Amino acid sequence: MTMETKIKQIVRDVNDFPKPGIVFKDITPILKDAVLCGEITTALAMQLSAVKIDVVAGIESRGFLFGMALANLLNVPFVPIRKAGKLPHKTIQQSYDLEYGSATLEVHEDAILPGQHVLIHDDLLATGGTVVAASKLIQKLDAVVAGYSFIIALDFLNGKDRLKAFSTNNFALASY
């Protein structure tokens, strides 16, 4: 059985969340399967084997789950990218628009060094707005977006197209 098939069999669809008309792809059932979690982390690392990665940055909050494990497997640092007001030290910020308003992401200003190659990880790629904001944070620190990794990509929303301006290294284990 392929990794994509395993993921699609366990991911739960939640209708009308967070608002009517949305079918939310819930990865939390994956977290109950320790073996599958390990397989997913290994599969992500294998997809990235040809990409130079100095740091893995995970986007709050589900990007922390596999982002940290991936960083450990790759033997590189992990950096959290958080919602505004959640990090305790000096930060830089990037605001972005959502379908229903706006949001702001932050990263510690000393978390990533100039010139480092940063992999951005999140659980799911939809329209790409959050990931674009994370990419702009990496660029503000004079670092390089090495690529992206996701458990799931919703290809019909064309988020990958928005990321090409930052990196063409875009990997997902399952696509819808």
Which are the catalytic amino acids?
62, 99
Residue type, 123: D
Query: Could you give phi then psi for residue 97, rounded to 5 degrees?
Result: -95, 145
H or E segment at 144? strand 144-153
What does the longest C-alpha to C-alpha distance in the chain come to?
46
Task: Please state, in angstroms and rounded to a whole number, the distance separating the CA atoms of residues 159 and 113.
Answer: 27
Query: Could you give phi then psi for residue 53, rounded to 5 degrees?
Result: -130, 120
Task: Please state, in angstroms and rounded to a whole number, the distance separating the CA atoms of residues 106 and 82.
Answer: 5
Dig out the tokens for 100 from the structure: 């229903």
- Tell me how crowded residue 86 is: count the other CB atoms within 10 A of its CB: 13
With CA atoms as reference, report the closest residue to 36 among 12, 5, 67. Answer: 5
